[in-house]
Amino acid sequence: MLQVVNLEKRFFLHRLGREVLAFQQVSFSLQAGEFLLLEGPNGSGKSSLLRTLYRSYWPTAGQALLQTPLGTVDLARLGDREVLAIRRERIGYVSQFLDPRPRTTALELVAEPLLWQGVAENQARHRAAELLLELGLKPELLETFPTSFSGGEKQKVNLARSLIHP
């Protein structure tokens, strides 16, 4: 499903006039249904790797080959429009931080991606509630604004929003 080959990301710090290596020569493959644990100390490039795969960052080198219904695409080389389509249909990114819109409930935030796909509102809300509860969010928090949530509760909302896609 995903094959990453010698992926690398470097940042150029203009103010300091030098490059900083985020990660290099990262290679792995994932099949459907598999999970991969990224482990390492702060600053070792874990978040940068995920942002590079999501294409918030442009990779410096390597390939990230994703299987899609239309064939294999290289996330490292796709244009911006193609990346946006892949994000809508195939991949998600769960940040370690949730910055929710004010006056938007946890249930609304999680149901939103399904609504964008044309799922009926009652079905989208039902699936969102199921997923949030499966992830351990307390039932009384479903209709609450996540701006008041703990860090762990916010992460559950983020994760549910990412996993809501079929």
Residue-level pLDDT at 100 = 72
Contact 106, 131 (CB under 8 A): no
Domain boundary among 59, 89, 119: 89
What separation in angstroms does the CA of 133 have from each of 8, 123, 142?
Answer: 37, 15, 9
Contact 130, 142 (CB under 8 A): no
Which CATH number goes with the domain that contains 73?
3.40.50.300
How many structural domains is the chain composed of?
2
Q: For 159, what's the count of Cα atoms within 13 Å in the CB-facing half-sphere?
A: 14
CB atoms within 10 A of CB 159: 18
Residue carrying the six token digits 């149901």: 111
29 inside domain: yes
Confidence of residue 16 (pLDDT cuts 50, 70, 90): confident
Mean pLDDT of 98-119: 88
Residue-level pLDDT at 8 = 97
pLDDT of residue 143 exceeding 90: yes
Name the token pair of 79.
């244009």
Q: Are residues 71 and 132 in the same domain?
A: no
Q: Are residues 7 and 75 in the same domain?
A: yes
Q: Which domain, by its residues, includes 131?
A: 106-163
Q: Are residues 12 and 53 in the same domain?
A: yes
Which residues lie closer than 8 Å to 109 by C-beta, 6 or more apart? 100, 101, 146, 157, 161
Confidence of residue 96 (pLDDT cuts 50, 70, 90): low
Measure the CA–CA gap between 63 and 45, rounded to whole angstroms: 17
Measure the CA–CA gap between 33 and 150, rounded to whole angstroms: 29
What is the strand order of the sheet 2-13 is part of? 18-30, 2-13, 61-68, 71-74
Domain boundary among 32, 54, 89: 89
Q: What is the pLDDT of residues 44-57, one digit of tens each?
A: 899 899 999 999 99
**Bridge partners for 155 per DSSP:** none
23 inside domain: yes
Q: Are residues 58 and 137 in the same domain?
A: no
What is the average pLDDT score of the chain? 91
Q: Are residues 10 and 79 in the same domain?
A: yes
